[in-house]
Amino acid sequence: MLLRRKYLLTHVLGGIICIIGISFSTMSDIKDYDIEDMESTSDIDSVQHIKGDILAISGAILLGLDDVLSEELVKENGGVHELLFMKWWFGVGIAVTQLVIFERESFISLFNNQEGDTCSVSTQFVYLGLYVLFQVMDLASEVKFLSISEACLLNLSVLSSNLWASIFTAITDGILPAASYYVSLILIVSGIVIYEGGPSPIGHDKPTNIKIRKDNFDKTEHVANYLTSKVEEKDIELT
Amino acid sequence: MSTSSTEKKTDRRRSSSHITRSQSYRADVEPLQEAINTPSPLGSLLDKHHSSNSNEDGSINSRHRLSPINIDNSVFGEGSIANSVVSTIIDGLHHSIAHWKVLLFGQLISFFIASTGAMSEELNSTCDLHIPLTQITLVGIVLMFLGAVNMRGWCSGCRNNRIKRKIDISEEEEQFDCSKHNQSNNDKDDLSISIKSNIVMDDGWNREKDNEKYDSTILKESRRRLSNQPRSFCFGLQTIHAPSWAYFLLALIAIEGRFFVISSFQYTTFTFINLVQALSIPSAMIFSKCY
């Protein structure tokens, strides 16, 4: 089921440098806000803490597997639209089941505006609508990305989302990024460049021949077949 | 006499017009073919760089193969670590410039993720609303409709496909009887042809090993393609190209992965979660590698 990719030392090195970059960015943020976070979670016993760690690690591994399986299905089977439909057909079913079990009360509170609430119902819906819009664009773009590239490069590219968040903070709150931001940016970009330094794991033999697939058909092949058939048709007709 | 001469003239005109028309069609097609084969100016420049060190025998493979760019050996020394590091970085820069569209697309996705995070943060902190599963459900519904709208062949799919497949199979069987091993588009017939081709090619030549290799590759490819066979989904409402359980498994992994990460916020620190998110890279690499 899974792909058979060949990763070289350059790919691994690029990945490690990217991870160091994001670690650097995260660690430098501890000074600003995470001490409060740690204090607030200090009352949680160690068993719960371990449970949280295991959940976070499992989630990250599952999301990596999700990207790989999506890549396999989008490239070898149904294509972008089929994947989106089928994945979220079942996904909605699973999510609704969990919603009914774990999140029923919170869901009802979405429609009730109680006294002391900082947001009105309309504001909540505006935020929710924007969230859905951006998330839909994100997930649809990710599937499209997987159809033309590969899961590992997607995960490397996605690492820079924290840096985008820093830019948002700079614009909205007027807080300029610290020096660690630039170090992190340089490390992530260097990691991607080094990753790209190795031969492509999906086997591009030259930089210009990235095959763009559309609905399980190779566009280049399709155009070539079309042209060939057109020439043959004309020859048959006219000679 | 006069009539025959006029007929000949008209024939000549016809034939000449045929030639010019066919030539004109070819002239129409050639630029298109050239356009397909010609890379972009930047791409061709990079290809030249890459092919400058490869063999100059003129073959397509040798010209288009990526090869490491030689760094001046007098500076770094032949085969030194510095040489290989610098050549890797230069190769990486070239590849990054060549793949700029893909990398830019990745940054667009990052931008969407950051925007999603900002909106989620507003909902959580400003409005004090924690509804991760509701958010996932709403996103899922929109994506499902997006996929459904763009999918073709609703309600007609399966029945037509079944009939088409039967016709294809019978046509392929007829072709095989005539010993015409044209490459088939039908997956099942690819398999049968590859098995039977072994018998046809076994004519006393010492080609057994080659045949085995050839057939094993084709069989493997055919098996892989067999998994792409159209399948009926939801009582023929739509045709899909992978088993339903595969999509269910994928959905389960995607939803649970996100749910685990969101749930972990209650028990552990934000820093740890943010760091652990980077684990998806080695995870993707390992899962992509194993087969």
Q: How far apart are CA B90 and CA A196, in angstroms?
A: 10
In angstroms, the separation between the Cα of residue B142 and the nearest Cα of chain A is 7
pLDDT of residue A46: 72
Q: How far apart are CA B42 and CA B94, in angstroms?
A: 10
Apex CA A59: angle with CA A55 and CA A62, to 5°? 140
Using an 8 Å CB-CB cutoff, list chain A residues near B43: 206-208
DSSP, collapsed to helix, strand or coil, labels residue B244 as helix
**What's the mean pLDDT in B11-37?**
48
Q: How far apart are CA B218 and CA B225, in angstroms?
A: 10
Say whether pLDDT at B93 is over 50. yes
Using an 8 Å CB-CB cutoff, list chain B residues near A6: 289
Rounded alpha-carbon distances, angstroms, from residue B205 to B121, B200, B210? 71, 11, 11
Angle, in degrees to the nearest 10, between helices B81-98 and B100-121: 80
What's the N-to-C CA distance of chain B in angstroms? 79
Apex CA B193: angle with CA B189 and CA B196, to 5°? 140
**What's the mean pLDDT in A107-117?**
78
Q: How far apart are CA B51 and CA B55, in angstroms?
A: 8
Rounded alpha-carbon distances, angstroms, from residue A225 to A233, A237, B280? 12, 18, 39
Rounded alpha-carbon distances, angstroms, from residue B187 to B94, B194, B241? 39, 11, 12
Range in A111-120, B68-77, B266-275 with the lowest mean pLDDT: B68-77
Say whether pLDDT at A140 is over 80. yes
Nearest to B115 by CA among A125, A144, A162: A162
Q: Chain B interface, mutation test: which of A2, A23, A85, most B Cβ atoms within 10 Å?
A: A85
Using an 8 Å CB-CB cutoff, list chain A residues near B251: 86-91, 93-94
- Output the average pLDDT for chain B: 65
**What's the mean pLDDT in A57-73?**
88
Say whether pLDDT at B2 is over 50. no
Task: Answer for the pair A62, B253: CB distance below 8 angstroms, yes or no.
Answer: yes
What is the DSSP secondary structure assignment for residue B278, as one 8-state letter? G
**B65-88 residue pLDDT tens:** 444 444 444 444 556 777 777 777
pLDDT of residue A17: 87
pLDDT interval class at B144 (50, 70, 90): very high
**What's the mean pLDDT in B227-232?**
71
What percentage of chain B's residues is helix, strand, coil (to nearest 5)? 75, 0, 25
Here the ipTM equals 0.75
pLDDT interval class at B290 (50, 70, 90): low
**What's the mean pLDDT in A64-92?**
88
**What's the mean pLDDT in B103-113?**
89
Phi, psi at B8, each rounded to 5°:
-60, -45
* Yes or no, beta carbons of B44 and A208 under 8 Å apart: yes
Say whether pLDDT at A219 is over 50. no
Please enumerate in sequence order all residues whose Cβ is within 8 A of that of B67, keeping only pairs 6 or more positions apart, or say none. Answer: B50, B51, B53, B54
pLDDT of residue A134: 93
Of A73 and B9, the one with more pLDDT: A73
Nearest to B201 by CA among B211, B216, B187: B211
pLDDT of residue A129: 93
pLDDT of residue B166: 59
* Yes or no, beta carbons of B147 and A85 under 8 Å apart: yes
Contact pairs from chain A to chain B, CB under 8 Å: 455
**What's the mean pLDDT in A120-136?**
91
Q: Chain A interface, mutation test: which of B13, B101, B143, B217, most A Cβ atoms within 10 Å?
A: B143
- Output the average pLDDT for chain A: 75
**What's the mean pLDDT in A42-62?**
79
Q: How far apart are CA B187 and CA B69, in angstroms?
A: 42
- The DSSP line for B155-176 is TTHHHHHHHHHHHHHHHHHHHH
Say whether pLDDT at B289 is over 50. yes
Q: Chain A interface, mutation test: which of B94, B263, B288, most A Cβ atoms within 10 Å?
A: B288
Angle, in degrees to the nearest 10, between helices A80-102 and A46-76: 150
* Yes or no, beta carbons of A59 and B278 under 8 Å apart: no
Nearest to B106 by CA among A161, A74, A72: A161
Say whether pLDDT at A77 is over 60. yes
In angstroms, the separation between the Cα of residue B203 and the nearest Cα of chain A is 34
Please enumerate in sequence order all residues whose Cβ is within 8 A of that of B38, keeping only pairs 6 or more positions apart, or say none. Answer: B44
**What's the mean pLDDT in A213-238?**
45
Say whether pLDDT at B252 is over 90. yes
pLDDT of residue B240: 79
Of A188 and B227, the one with more pLDDT: A188
pLDDT interval class at B64 (50, 70, 90): very low
Say whether pLDDT at A193 is over 70. yes
* SS3 letters across chain A: CCCCCCCCHHHHHHHHHHHHHHHHHHHHHHHHHHHHHHHHCCCCCHHHHHHHHHHHHHHHHHHHHHHHHHHHHHHHCCCHHHHHHHHHHHHHHHHHHHHHHHCHHHHHHCCCCCCCCCCCHHHHHHHHHHHHHHHHHHHHHHHHHHHHCCHHHHHHHHCCHHHHHHHHHHHHHCCCCCHHHHHHHHHHHHHHHHHHHCCCCCCCCCCCCCCCEECCEEHHHHHHHHHHHHHHHHHHHHC
Q: Which residues pair with B231 in a beta bridge?
A: B240
Of A167 and B168, the one with more pLDDT: A167
Say whether pLDDT at B1 is over 50. no
Task: Answer for the pair B82, B76: CB distance below 8 angstroms, yes or no.
Answer: yes
Of B46 and B79, the one with more pLDDT: B79
pLDDT of residue B149: 87
Task: Answer for the pair A95, A101: CB distance below 8 angstroms, yes or no.
Answer: no
pLDDT of residue B91: 80
**B150-201 residue pLDDT tens:** 887 666 555 555 555 555 556 555 554 444 444 444 444 444 444 444 444 4
Task: Answer for the pair B69, B89: CB distance below 8 angstroms, yes or no.
Answer: no
What is the DSSP secondary structure assignment for residue B70, as one 8-state letter? P
Range in A164-173, B171-180, B247-256 with the lowest mean pLDDT: B171-180
**What's the mean pLDDT in B86-101?**
80
pLDDT of residue B44: 56
Of B145 and B14, the one with more pLDDT: B145
* Yes or no, beta carbons of B102 and A148 under 8 Å apart: yes
Do strands B238-240 and B231-233 pair parallel, antiparallel, or not at all (unpaired)? antiparallel
